[in-house]
Amino acid sequence: MPEMQLLRPDHASALLAFERENRAYFAVSVPDRGEDYFAGFDERHRDLLAEQDAGNCYFHVLVGAEGEVLGRVNLVDVADGGAELGYRIAERAAGRGLATSAVRDVCGLAADRYGLTSLRAATTLDNAASRAVLARAGFNVTGETRLSGRPGLTYLRSLDDYSAPPADL
């Protein structure tokens, strides 16, 4: 089982490889990051770590046995006891419950370690896998939205009663 780790400087090369290897796979369900993302990856990685150090975001990677990144689970825009949840799992690791497990673990971290009381999320209507992950992790649909021009749903997960043990970081 992959290990969830808080993003660190030494994750940069494995994270970049993960994003490159899965770019086409991710573009099917989420907007492509574009060439600028890859060209400026090192600077962006440093910026993300600075945001994390400031407590504005918490970025997690799922690291496999060989040190490869198999997924990301991020909490962004931390404010007023809440944050926005985002996640992506490598194509080769999809369909095995990894996303559901990772989202549940991050819910535990959000409640127990980061002191958050709620998480928000959104996904497109055509992303059935992501909708299923959010439902299994206790998120409830709160409304409709558009994501990059595509119809989607917004979700909310209260963490007031969260009791699952967090992943060990």
Within a domain: 41: yes
**What's the distance, CA 99 to chain centroid?**
9
- Tell me, what CATH number does 137's domain have? 3.40.630.30
- pLDDT over 80 at 164, yes or no: no
How many domains are contained in the chain?
A: 1
User: What range does the domain containing 38 cover?
Assistant: 3-158
Residue 165 has what pLDDT? Answer: 45
- Is residue 163, in this structure, part of any structural domain at all? no
Query: Is residue 128 in a domain?
Result: yes
- List, for residues 104-154, the tens digit of each pLDDT value: 999 999 999 999 999 999 999 989 999 999 999 999 999 999 988 889 999
In a domain, 124, yes or no: yes
pTM over 0.85: yes
